[in-house]
Amino acid sequence: MKERAQRAIAECQQIALMTEDPGRITRRFLTTPVHDVHALLRVRMEALGMTVRVDAAGNLRGVWQPPGEGVKRLVLGSHIDTVPDAGAFDGVLGVTLALEWVSLAQEIETPFGIEVIAFSEEEGVRFGVPFIGSQAVAGRFDRALLTRRDASGITMEEAIRAFGLDPAGIDEAGAEEDSIGFVEVHIEQGPVLEAEGLSLAVVTGIVGQSRVNLEFAGQANHAGTTPMHLRHDALAGAAEWIAAVEAQAQQINGLAATVGKIEVTPNADNVIAGTTQMTLDARHAHDASRAAAVDALLETANAIAARRGLALQFERTMDQPAVAMDERLTELLSESMVAEGFAAKRMPSGAGHDAMVMASRMPAAMLFLRSPGGISHSPAETVREEDVEASLRVARKFLERLAAEVR
């Protein structure tokens, strides 16, 4: 397994060189470097005897099918797009490891086939909407998205056509509904496994997520002539609320609440802020707890605005329910970990993944690998070779157990 692990890591490092920005990893939905990634992965897939195609949403898809009629498929994969200035392993490792799973399945002679999907988009960077690739495969793509524009004014439809694809065929990208299931291998992107000294974990579910855009509006005025008690400072109100978000979130077990973006107008050093816009990202494994927390935080924002003589506006832009992973596939992964001598660690995922979208189409499961330093979405993102090797040992056991069930 050591050679397989080294190969999977090396391929991630090679793909990292395929970027829009020389010197840093940035690869958005269907930009030029994606052609290079597809070319590299196509060579690997064809060497494994897989048939390869790119669907109308830009997903690269390779299928290995053993002989026989009516043979079902296990679907594997992750995404190949990145955030700006990314690391080499987020998403991509799940694709290079999936190809090693194909090789393992061929050695085992599984009675089922494997489809590997390199999803074209998961991060939501270029068009402000995530999971474009997996939504198409899950049969959930909203064609209204084709009119969305990126920062350069290019519509999604134009981007798809520029890549050499026909967006009219997106509805045909759906996966086979009788697929055995979907498994995604992914780095944890957090500090839990490292803190516990563990290589791997089985994901029990993916937390629900709410996003809200807020604006505090006050009165821009001269910083030197306006007395403190006569100010309507939008930034001061926002700062009070941001501190309240952190304080309230710390009191609710399992809640993660983040104000990650803030814009101030007029944004001058000698002018009281007239407006302040910001975002709220709230996540929890239990939807009711998340919804109640968001409502409470918005009530706090209203109270702050009223006390300070500010106007408050907000828009809920996302309300993604929590998604549980499939119990049967999750149990098979857990059993395979124990069989290989690893602790059967189970944990929720605080980040969104393609598996949460694919779960609407077929049974889905996830396997996490330790993220050294808990770092992701950063050039410092890395993996340990021994963890990658451990994941492949578990993969072999999983395929053997699944094959025994299918037979």
What Rg do the C-alpha atoms of the chain give, in angstroms?
A: 23
Give the pLDDT confidence of 244-268 residue by residue, as tens digits.
Answer: 999 999 999 999 999 999 999 999 9
- Give me the mean pLDDT over the 372-379 stretch: 95
The mean pLDDT of 59-83, rounded to a whole number, is 95
| Residue 96, H or E segment | helix 92-108
Residue 128 pLDDT grade (very low, low, confident, very high; cuts 50, 70, 90) = confident
Q: What is the pLDDT of residue 178?
A: 85
- pLDDT of 97 reads 98
Q: What is the pLDDT of residues 154-198, one digit of tens each?
A: 999 999 999 999 999 999 999 987 899 999 999 999 999 999 999
Q: Per-residue pLDDT tens for 28-65?
A: 999 999 999 999 999 999 999 999 999 999 999 999 99
pLDDT-above-90 percentage for the chain? 95
pLDDT at 18 over 90: yes
For residue 381, what pLDDT is reported? 97
User: What's the whole-number mean pLDDT along residues 200-226?
Assistant: 96
Taken in order of first residue, the domains within the chain and their CATH numbers are 2-206+322-406 (3.40.630.10), 208-320 (3.30.70.360)
Residue 358 burial (CB count, 10 A): 29
Q: Which residues contact 346 (CB under 8 A, 6 or more apart)?
A: 201, 202, 203, 204, 330, 334
Neighbours of 12 (CB within 10 A): 23
| Percent share of the chain, pLDDT over 70 | 100
pLDDT in tens, 263-301: 999 999 999 999 999 999 999 999 999 999 999 999 999
Residue 279 to residue 260: CA distance in whole angstroms = 6
Tokens at 196, concatenated: 């516990």
pLDDT at 70: 82
pLDDT higher than 90, residue 354: yes
* pLDDT value, residue 199: 98
User: Which of 82, 67, 94 is CA-nearest to residue 25?
Assistant: 82
Give bridge partners of residue 277 from the DSSP assignment.
Answer: 215, 263
Looking at residue 113, its pLDDT comes to 97
> What is the C-alpha separation between 223 and 319, in angstroms, rounded?
39
Does position 407 have pLDDT exceeding 80, yes or no? Answer: no
DSSP states along 196-218: HT-SEEEEEEE-EEEEEEEEEE-
Closest to 78 in 3D by CA, of 29, 34, 134 = 134
Of 349, 351, 305, 311, residue with least CA distance to 330: 349
Tokens for 199, please give them: 């290589």
- pTM, full prediction: 0.88
Distance CA 161, CA 135 (A): 18
Task: Say whether 396 sits in a helix, a strand or coil.
Answer: helix
- Please give the mean pLDDT across all residues of the chain: 96
How high is the pLDDT of residue 327? 96
